[in-house]
């Protein structure tokens, strides 16, 4: 089976023309247009294999150097799949999962820059090592939390 996407498709970021006159502040808000990826999962209603599939998405984010920092059922969504099939041929029996809500997400590069900024009076090389170690610790903690959120902590083989 091919590996599916981890995150929704991004279609664009739109901002209202500044010359457009509008008194409604909400109407002036920028729009982030993304793929609709379905409804939030409910782990207790899922089989082990499906929960492992969701856990794998978190691991793939980590492997790419990202700490989601908000792993909750509401931030993993499901829709009928497979997405390679035409919409009328998709079924929830072949679910497709995505991770959403990246408002608290951080990456190693950003984390390190912030850490160095906060510790600018200390040895930079040493602070880079510490930053990477702490970031790795955050990823490990998040994997543990993801196991609990997905009810995978009940299994010893994961």
pLDDT tops 80 at residue 16: no
Q: Which residue has the higher pLDDT, 17 or 34?
A: 34
Q: Work out the percent of the chain whose per-residue pLDDT is above 70.
A: 95
Task: Give tens-digit pLDDT for 75-132.
Answer: 999 999 988 899 999 999 999 999 999 888 999 999 999 999 999 999 999 999 999 9
* Owner of token pair 């991004």: 10
56-78 in b/e burial notation, b at 16+ Cβ within 10 A? Answer: ebbebbbeeebbbeebebebbbb
Nearest CA among 146, 144, 33 for reference residue 99: 146
The Cβ-side half-sphere exposure at 54, using a 13 Å CA radius, reads 31
1 has a pLDDT exceeding 70: no
Computed over its alpha carbons, how large is the radius of gyration of the chain? Answer: 19
SS3 category, 140:
helix
Residue-by-residue DSSP string for 50-81: HHHHHHHHHHHHHHTTEE-S---GGGEEEEEE
What is this structure's pTM?
0.83
- Report pLDDT for 77: 97
């Amino acid at each position: 089976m091919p590996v599916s996407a981890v995150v929704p498709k991004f279609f664009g970021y739109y901002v209202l023309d500044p010359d457009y006159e509008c008194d409604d502040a909400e109407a002036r808000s920028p729009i982030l247009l993304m793929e609709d990826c379905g409804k939030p999962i409910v782990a207790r209603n899922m089989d082990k294999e499906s929960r492992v599939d969701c856990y794998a998405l978190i691991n793939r984010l980590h492997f790419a150097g990202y700490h989601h920092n908000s792993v909750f059922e509401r931030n993993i969504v499901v829709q009928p799949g497979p997405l390679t099939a035409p919409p009328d041929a998709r079924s929830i029996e072949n679910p497709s999962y995505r991770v959403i809500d990246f408002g608290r997400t951080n990456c190693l590069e950003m984390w390190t820059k912030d850490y160095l900024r906060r510790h600018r009076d200390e040895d930079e090389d040493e602070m880079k090592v510490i930053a990477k170690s702490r970031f790795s610790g955050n990823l490990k903690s998040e994997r543990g939390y993801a196991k609990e959120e997905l009810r995978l902590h009940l299994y010893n083989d994961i």
